[in-house]
Amino acid sequence: MVYHRPWGASGPGAGIPLALFLLVVLAGAASIPDGAVRGATLAGRQPTRAAATGGMVAGAPRTGSALAAPRTGSQLVAPRTGSQLVAARGSALMAAQTADAQDGVPARLTVMTFNIRTSGGNDGGNGWVHRRALVAETIERVAPDVAGLQEALDEQVEFLADALPGYRWLGADRGLNGGTGLSEYTPIFYRRDVLIPIESGTFWLSDADGPTGTGWRRNVSRIVTWARFHHRESGRRFHVFNTHLTLRRGQRQIESARRIAKRVATLPAGSPVVVTGDFNAIAEISETWLAATGQGLRDAWLLAGERTGPPRTSSDFRPPELANPGRIDWILVGGAVGVRSVETIVDDDNGRYPSDHYPVVACLDLQP
């Protein structure tokens, strides 16, 4: 494996707030056993196949048509024993997290967008079976807190869910061809030790929102998977939207970008939001990029204090010097989100690349 640039100090911070450090010291003095208090975990593993219906959530329970209710207070950090001392420690921990969020300290968040190339293509030596371990290794090494993937089929989602036990995922099948064969998820993978999903769903980029609605091609449009997350350490909340636009550039693609920007614009003013995706249009010069950034979203590549790697993301399994020109895989941000750095990951394993797209990773700050 050739690492063209290791992901190091610019990844998620590991610092511990002073208030939390003091609480841990005091708790230790009281001889509270380690592990007595743990963060709430999701109920079980996610299903390996989401039904081709709108808004199905993998790894987050739903009742009827309602999404699982947000967890608050002691539900987020719940003691496993009946000890009042342990309960007090859990309450104090949540208070310390809330105080830290109010102290004006940004919360670090690492985000990836990654078109992993469908397993349904005729790619010969670059077929899924030959590179699937490399895809999982790339995600595991970079360790993004949240990753928006594109072109994922059932078998790919299932493989990555098993290969990345530290992650859970959310999403629904697009419903193309009845959800079989060459269809697609745009799943959001997230680190379960860092983030808790509050609500999520999927919407179709067409007038009739749903897998049987009228779309741009084959009567099923492209989709957007979205989620609202609670950041465990800081207590901050933010939205993620992930998509894959049509390869056919023109009015259909532009209108899809507008729909996404319009949906994001309905969030309360200043809401932190991240949009990931393969937009199949070149950033900065295309009408699609102008439409996507026309209602407040900003291109993380342009905002970054540090940029690493080529401004090219579509490689056709080739090295950067032979990659297609321009950035078609974007990370956009909105609201109270700062951008520290962005990197185009161009690592290979003896000339084999994980996909025909390079993953893009941004180190962000969720501002107070």
Domain holding 303: CATH number?
A: 3.60.10.10
pLDDT confidence band for 329 (50 / 70 / 90): very high
The answer to whether 279 and 331 are in contact (CB under 8 A) is: no
- In this structure, the answer to whether residues 153 and 255 fall within a common structural domain is yes
Model pLDDT, residue 104: 80
Q: Which one, of 138, 198, 187, 100, lies nearest residue 348 by Cα?
A: 138
Q: In terms of domains, do 98 and 173 share one?
A: no
What does each C-alpha distance from 225 to 17, 83, 244 come to in angstroms? 33, 41, 10
- pLDDT category at 210 given cuts 50, 70, 90 is low
> In 248-265, which positions are buried (b, 16+ CB within 10 angstroms) versus exposed (e)?
ebeebbbebbbbbbebbe
* Concatenated DSSP letters of 114-137: EE---TTS--GGGSHHHHHHHHHH
Q: Is residue 134 part of a domain?
A: yes
Q: Are residues 131 and 243 in the same domain?
A: yes
**Of 81, 102, 123, which residue sits at a domain end?**
102
User: Distance between CA 291 and CA 203 in Å, rounded?
Assistant: 18
Both tokens of 313, joined, read 């993301």
Does 322 reside within a domain? yes
**Site of tokens 């962000």:** 364
Residue 3 belongs to some domain of the structure: no
**Percentage of the chain lying above the pLDDT 70 cut:** 67
Angle between helices 18-29 and 84-102 (to 10 degrees): 170
User: Distance between CA atoms of 354 and 358, rounded to whole angstroms?
Assistant: 8
CB 170 within 8 A of CB 197: yes
- Whether 97 maps to a domain, the answer reads yes
Residue 62 resides in a domain: no
What is the spatial distance between Cα 218 and Cα 208, in angstroms, rounded to a whole number? 14
Residues β-bridged to residue 190: 146, 168
In a domain? residue 54: no
102 has pLDDT over 80: no
For the segment 33-47, the average pLDDT, to the nearest whole number, is 33
Say if residue 96 is in the same domain as residue 112: no
CB within 8 Å of 200: residues ≥ 6 apart: 55, 57, 60, 67, 170, 188, 225, 226, 227, 228
| Residue at 65 is within a domain | no
- Binned at pLDDT 50, 70 and 90, residue 192 comes out as very high
CA distance 367 to 293: 20
Domain of 98, in residue numbers: 18-47+71-102
**What does the DSSP assignment read for 94-109?**
HHHHHHHHHTTPPEEE
Does residue 112 sit in the same domain as residue 85? no
DSSP reduced 3-state for 246? coil
- In this prediction, residues 162-187 reach a mean pLDDT of 84
Q: In this structure, are 228 and 258 located in the same domain?
A: yes
CA angle 124, 280, 6 (to 5 degrees): 70
**Same domain membership, residue 317 and residue 265:** yes
Q: Which of 58, 80, 102 is the last residue of a domain?
A: 102
Q: Are residues 89 and 233 in the same domain?
A: no
% of the chain surpassing 90 pLDDT: 62
Contacting residues for 78 by C-beta, under 8 A, at least 6 apart = 37, 38, 40, 90
Claim to verify: residue 194 and residue 79 sit in the same structural domain: no
When divided into structural domains, the chain yields a total of 2
DSSP annotation string for 195-206: EEEEEEEEEESS
Q: Is 34 helix (H, G, I), strand (E, B) or coil?
A: coil
**Whether residue 79 has pLDDT greater than 60:** no
358 pLDDT more than 80: yes
Mean pLDDT of the chain, nearest integer: 78
Shared-domain flag, residues 335 and 211: yes
Task: Please indicate, yes or no, if residue 324 is contained in any of the structural domains.
Answer: yes
pLDDT of residue 212: 53
Confidence at 182, pLDDT banded by 50, 70, 90: low
Tokens of 124: 């010969």
CB contact set of 323 (below 8 Å; sequence gap of 6+): 310, 312, 313, 314, 315, 316, 358
* Domain match, 180 and 235 both: yes
Tell which wins on pLDDT, 32 or 297.
297
Co-location of 141 and 259 in the same domain: yes
Q: Which residue has the higher pLDDT, 70 or 358?
A: 358
- pLDDT at residue 88 above 80? no
Task: Look at residue 218 in the predicted model and tell me its pLDDT.
Answer: 52
